[in-house]
A and B are shown apart, each in its own frame.
Chain A
Amino acid sequence: MSATIATPTPSRLRLGLRAATIAVILLLALMPVLNRLPADHALHISDFVVSITGKWICYAILALAIDLAWGYAGLLSLGHGAFFALGGYAIGMHLMRLIGPRGVYGHPVLPDFMVFLGYTDLPIFWWGFQSFPYALFMALFVPGVLAGVVGFLAFRSRITGVYFSIITQAMTYALMLAFFRNDMGFGGNNGFTDFKELLGMPLNAGGTRAALFYASLATLVGTYFLCAWITRSKLGRVLIAVRDAESRVRFLGYSVTQAKLFVFVLSAMISGLAGALYVPQVGIINPGEFSPGNSIEAVIWVAVGGRGTLIGAALGAFSVNAMKTWLTTIAPDLWLFALGGLFVAVTLLLPKGLLGLLRGRRS
Chain B
Amino acid sequence: MSTKGRLYLDGVSVVFDGFRALNNLSLVVEPGEMRAVIGPNGAGKTTMMDVITGKTRPTSGTVRFGDHDLTRMDEADIANLGIGRKFQKPTVFDALTVFENLELALKAPRGPFACLRWILTGEAKARIDQVMEETGLTARAGDLAAILSHGQRQWLEIGMLLMQDPQLLLVDEPVAGMTDQETEHTAALLRRIAGERSVVVVEHDLEFVRALGRKVTVLHEGTMLSEGPIDQVQNDPRVIEVYLGR
Chain A residues whose C-beta falls within 8 Å of the C-beta of B129 in the assembled complex: none
User: B116 is contacted by which of A233, A250, A252, A253 (Cβ under 8 Å)?
Assistant: A233
Does A250 contact B75, Cβ atoms closer than 8 Å?
Answer: yes
Chain A residue at minimum C-beta to C-beta distance from B74: A250
Give the interface size bracket for B toward A. Answer: 35 or more
Does B116 contact A234, Cβ atoms closer than 8 Å?
Answer: yes
User: A234 is contacted by which of B76, B85, B118, B140 (Cβ under 8 Å)?
Assistant: B118
Chain A residue at minimum C-beta to C-beta distance from B94: A244
Question: Quick check: is A255 within 8 A (CB to CB) of the other chain?
Answer: yes
Does B139 contact A3, Cβ atoms closer than 8 Å?
Answer: yes
A to B contact number (C-beta, < 8 Å): 84
Does B115 contact A252, Cβ atoms closer than 8 Å?
Answer: no
Question: Quick check: is A338 within 8 A (CB to CB) of the other chain?
Answer: no
Chain A residue at minimum C-beta to C-beta distance from B160: A252
Does A7 contact B96, Cβ atoms closer than 8 Å?
Answer: no
Question: Quick check: is B208 within 8 A (CB to CB) of the other chain?
Answer: no
In whole Å, how far is A337's beta carbon from the nearest beta carbon of chain B?
34
Stretch from A93-101, A208-216, A235-243, A267-275 forming part of the interface with B = A235-243
Chain B residues whose C-beta falls within 8 Å of the C-beta of A363 in the assembled complex: 95
Question: Could you tell me the distance between the alpha carbons of A252 and B74 in the complex, rounded to whole angstroms?
Answer: 12
Question: Quick check: is B62 within 8 A (CB to CB) of the other chain?
Answer: no
Knowing A240-B96, A241-B93, the reply to whether A252 touches B112 (Cβ < 8 A) is no
Question: Quick check: is B105 within 8 A (CB to CB) of the other chain?
Answer: yes
Does B55 contact A245, Cβ atoms closer than 8 Å?
Answer: no
Does A253 contact B112, Cβ atoms closer than 8 Å?
Answer: no
Does A253 contact B53, Cβ atoms closer than 8 Å?
Answer: no
Question: Could you tell me the distance between the alpha carbons of A248 and B145 in the complex, rounded to whole angstroms?
Answer: 14
Does A252 contact B105, Cβ atoms closer than 8 Å?
Answer: yes
Chain A residue at minimum C-beta to C-beta distance from B117: A233
Chain B residues whose C-beta falls within 8 Å of the C-beta of A235 in the assembled complex: 112, 115-116, 118
Question: Quick check: is A262 within 8 A (CB to CB) of the other chain?
Answer: yes
User: B104 is contacted by which of A234, A255, A258, A262 (Cβ under 8 Å)?
Assistant: A234
What are some 13 contacts across the A-B interface (CB < 8 A)? A7-B143, A233-B116, A233-B117, A234-B118, A235-B118, A240-B96, A241-B96, A244-B95, A245-B92, A248-B92, A251-B85, A253-B79, A262-B112
Known A3-B140, A252-B160; further 17 A-B contacts with Cβ < 8 A: A233-B116, A234-B104, A234-B116, A235-B116, A237-B96, A238-B115, A241-B96, A245-B91, A248-B87, A250-B75, A250-B76, A251-B53, A251-B85, A253-B79, A258-B111, A258-B112, A259-B112
Nearest first, the 8 A-B pairs at minimum CB distance are A253-B79, A3-B139, A250-B75, A235-B115, A234-B118, A262-B112, A253-B80, A248-B91
